[in-house]
Structures are given as C-alpha cells and as structure tokens.
Amino acid sequence: MRFLDREGLGSLLARLVAEGYELIGPTVRDGTIVLDRIEAVDDLPAGVGEVEGPGTYRLVRRDDRRVFGFAHGPDAGKRFLFPSSEVLGTIGRRNGHLTAPPAEAGAEGRRAFVGLRPCDLHAIEVQDRVFRGGPEPDAAYAARRDGAFVIGVNCTAPGGTCFCDSMGTGPVCTVGFDVALTELDHGFLATAGTARGGDLLEEAGSREATPGEAAEGHRLLANARVHMGRSLDTSDLPGLLYRNRRHPRWADVAERCLACGNCTSVCPTCFCHDVVDDVDLAGETATRVREWASCFSVEFSHTAGMEVRTSREARYRQWLTHKFASWIDQFGTSGCVGCGRCITWCPVGIDVTEEVAAIRADDGAVALEVGA
C-alpha cells in the first residue's frame, strides 16, 4: 500500500492531463456535487459534505478540507460512457445522391475519471456486461470504456441512503480501477489496480504507507460499514419477487409513485434506451439517435399496437423485479449496486429497501395467481 500526499494527487492529475486525458471529477454545481470536467485538484469540493435521505439532498460544510468527504451526487460514470443522447448515424442527400458517413464511435477522446465510488465501479462493470458481453458489442461504448483511466475512492462517508455493504459492492474498491484512494486527514492511501496505475503513483511521488496510516485507513472503512444509511436482506431476492407478483404492496407504492423516471435517470446501471429517427425540415438530412428511456413511461411497453403495462403498479413492479431478479437471469448479476440514488432523488421519497422489506415481511401470505 502506498501513501500519496495532496501535492502528489495534484501531480498525478497533471500527468494525466499531459498524456491527453480529459479529467472528469466531482465538483459543486447548482447546489449538488456532480461529475463534470475539472482542470486540476483545486476544482475538487474541498470541505464539502452532503446530507441524503428519501427525497432529500443538501450540501453541508465539513470541519476539514477533505476533497472526497461525501458519498456521491446524482450522476455516475454512466452519463459519460453511455450518453443520454447519441447520434448513431446520419444520411444526407446532396445533388440527388445519398451519403452516409460512418458514425464516429466514442470520438470524445480519452477521459480520466476521478473519485468514482466502489458502487459506481461495480455499476460500470454491470454495464460492461450489458454493452460488451453479448455477441455484438456496442462499439461506441467500448471505445469510451477502453479509453478511460479510473481513480476510485474508497467510501469513508456513506450517505443516508447508501446500502452498498448489503449488495457486496462497497465501501472498498475491488473492481474496475487503475488507482484506488482512501482519504486520510493529511493525504491518501493508494493502491494500484493496473500496471499503469502503479507507474503513475511512482511518478507522482508516492511512498510506502506507514503501519499507522494503513491502520487508520482500515479503521475508517470498518466505520463506514457500520454507518450505512440503509440495509437490505438480499437472500433469495429473485424467488421472493417472483413469488409475490400479486402482493398488495405494489398497489400501495403505485399510489405514491409519480412515474417521473427520476430513479432510472440517476441509476448508474439502468441501460434502457430508444432509437429515434428524424428528418430535417429541408428533407436533406436524416439522423438516427439513441436516447435514454425509462420503463416508467407508458409508451415504453408499446408492443403490437398497444401498451402492455398501462398502470404505475405494473411499471414499478417491472422496474424493481428486473433490478433485483430478472437482471440476474439475464446478466448473472444484480442490477442494483446499493448506491441509494433512487431513494435520494425520488420526489416522494420511495425507498426501495423499505419496499422489498415490506414484501419480505409477509412472504407466503399472499397467494400467487398463476399467469399474473
């Protein structure tokens, strides 16, 4: 394990910039901590914390200068690796001839992600299975993913809606990083996940961590595990949800759900999208665009001339059951990484851990109707 002081982190970021990487890291904007382009370590939110709860988010001032003293804001790496809107192709008509230039897959250039949390690294791994695991990998996603350098941060300040410990996705970075940091008062414990990450740590002036520094890091992470804002019993979740497709809780949550789609927008693993074709007013250029879609919209389930899921009850059940059950059937992993964003950014504060617990509380008491 290495130790990197604050000047060393600045040197590491400067080296990435010199190699042609665009830095994407946490910064304060519009009263939230968001991922956006940053220029240097001074752009990180020093001394800023956050308070999260169901339907609640606000920034607070910490009594220290830690730059990663928060859980996360509303967005994750998904917004950059799988953009909300992406042109898949363009066809033009000029002088009676059609032209179709090839789409520039992942043409944004190389990006270095700074400060992604363990849950977000697992979310990227989940999206890797979705977009790269099949027989026809998504070329644009793969180009962005291959060009990414990732600096993960072990979570020492879990939020009020976090439950990554229950999902086995945190608070320690275990997958998908080139460098992982644990922030201490006077610097960072650093672990290399790749050879390039190790080289950069050496070049940035890191040293061997002292036993005291290593012990402090272990203490902070152990404390994070017992201070998660939420917990979830994950035993036999697929069976639980499949058995209870007619549970009255679905109707109960539908009375509160606005079907706004906030939960799917902030979820770091949701991948549903639509493909939209459009033609300009002159009739000279046609475009095909991929856009994020949400299973909470009525038109999402439009099939053979009709909507399959017309009620909010059916749409919420579909979303939660896919996330915790059928996703496992499809991709061999849960679609939830325990980040809690869907709880925080739900306008009415629907808590997924509470909904699952309510169904589990009387599992077996509700008869399953065949074919429901």
Q: Which residue has 């005291």 as its token pair?
A: 212
Which pLDDT value is given to residue 371? 40
Is pLDDT at 370 greater than 90 in this prediction? no
Query: 367 versus 298: which is more confidently predicted?
Result: 298
Does residue 364 have a pLDDT over 80?
no
CB contact at 8 A, 124 and 81:
yes
- For 19, the token pair is 């190699």
Q: And the tokens for 56?
A: 């609640």
Residue 301: pLDDT band (50, 70, 90) is confident
CA dist 164 to 59, 72, 150, 336, 361, Å?
21, 12, 19, 9, 22
Task: Please report the DSSP string for 294-326 in residue order.
Answer: -TTSGGGGEETTEES--SHHHHHHHHHHIIIII
- CA neighbor of 115 nearest in space, from 79, 71, 74: 71
Structure tokens at 108: 């944004």
Write the DSSP symbol of residue 117. Answer: -
Quick check: 367 pLDDT over 60? Answer: no
140-182 tens-digit pLDDT: 999 999 999 999 999 999 999 999 999 999 999 999 999 999 9
List the one residue out of 119, 219, 220 whose CA is nearest residue 164: 119
Distance, in Å, from the CA atom of 325 to the CA atom of 313, rounded to the nearest integer, reads 17
Helix residue ranges per DSSP H, the chain:
6-18, 78-81, 118-132, 139-146, 164-167, 195-203, 211-225, 237-243, 249-256, 262-266, 312-321, 327-331, 341-344, 352-361
Of 168, 174, 173, whose CA–CA distance to 234 is shortest?
168
Structure tokens at 334: 């849960």
Predicted TM-score (pTM) of this structure: 0.93
The pLDDT-based confidence of 344 (bands split at 50, 70, 90) is: very high
| Alpha-carbon distances of 180 from 110, 117, 197, 284, rounded to whole Å | 19, 9, 9, 49
Evaluate the CA torsion angle 152, 178, 219, 354 in order and state its sign.
positive
pLDDT in tens, 72-112: 999 999 999 999 999 999 999 888 788 888 776 666 789 99
Q: How many residues in total does the chain contain?
A: 372
The pair of three-digit structure tokens given for residue 230, joined into one six-digit string: 């939420």
Pairing of strands 148-153, 111-116: parallel
Q: What value does the mean pLDDT of the chain take?
A: 94
What does the angle CA 161 – CA 162 – CA 163 come to, to the nearest 5 degrees?
Answer: 120
